Homo-oligomer: A and B are copies of this chain.
């Protein structure tokens, strides 16, 4: 039996085996809707105060997929009252052109947030371009300065997927302080930032990776488990103790034997859910929250940037 969990905080879960306990599904769509509602109220408030709430997204080149993604993003921004502007450069734009565009957006006081659509054409160094974005306007939280502020424990903007994973954990009401957290996957935009965020909340955090020798030994000790490896059904029942909070960051498109396509998480939901206290589904878990976190960063950037004036 699984019960849906929305934006409401539940009673503190007790760790350890409890035969009466069934996994509660963390409903990412419901949580995202609740956060978007807060973002909508905040952007209205900021605009009423005469502040700019304006996200500029840089798209270099244009594939149908990127155009579609940008269109959905424009709709998501419109939905919560964030002005959105797609800044396009041709696929063969020179590095200097891309740099100059970021510099212009940094200086433009009518822009409160900046993001860059990925992937960039191969001739443009993504890290170097992102490093140009001013930390206050970096709504994706991916520039070196943004990540450095996170490491310093004084975060401005934090990578959205890591925030989404942490938001899922907080929605359960389970106490993070002193909890055993295991993060599987040490990526720059999920594993490492999530580990730092949860360590700052006084969890004991272990970061496992492909070279980890006794993965199940680690994951079975977890009270909170974040799977962010990008391998379909990598985490199975044998990796998880009874009562664990399981956060699945994976979004893996796979082709089934019959030729159809399906999106699978890093966690084998069917076998893990009966043991978990809380679990995110894929799709419908971390994914929708990631978009909501970008919007929340955008209003935060707006408020933070204009505090500085």
17 contacts between A and B (CB under 8 A): A144-B147, A147-B151, A148-B149, A150-B151, A151-B192, A151-B193, A178-B212, A180-B213, A202-B209, A202-B210, A204-B207, A204-B209, A204-B211, A204-B213, A204-B218, A206-B206, A206-B207
Chain A interface size, under 10 / 10 to 19 / 20 to 34 / 35 or more: 35 or more
Task: Please judge, given known A-B contacts A177-B211, A211-B177, whether A127 and B154 are in contact too, CB under 8 Å.
Answer: yes
CB neighbours (8 Å) of A148 from chain B are 143-149, 151
Number of identical monomers bound together in the oligomeric complex: 2
Asked if A188 is at the interface (CB within 8 A of a chain B CB), the reply is yes
Q: Identify the A interface with B (CB < 8 A).
A: 127, 131, 135, 143-154, 177-178, 180, 186, 188, 192-193, 195-196, 199-200, 202-213, 218
CA A206 to CA B203, docked complex, whole Å? 11
CB neighbours (8 Å) of A195 from chain B are 207
CA A210 to CA B135, docked complex, whole Å? 31
CB neighbours (8 Å) of A153 from chain B are 188
Choose one: B151, B204, B209; the contact of A212 (CB below 8 Å): B204
Given contacts A148-B151, A186-B200, A203-B211, 8 further A-B contacts (CB under 8 A): A127-B154, A147-B148, A147-B151, A151-B151, A151-B188, A178-B212, A204-B211, A206-B206
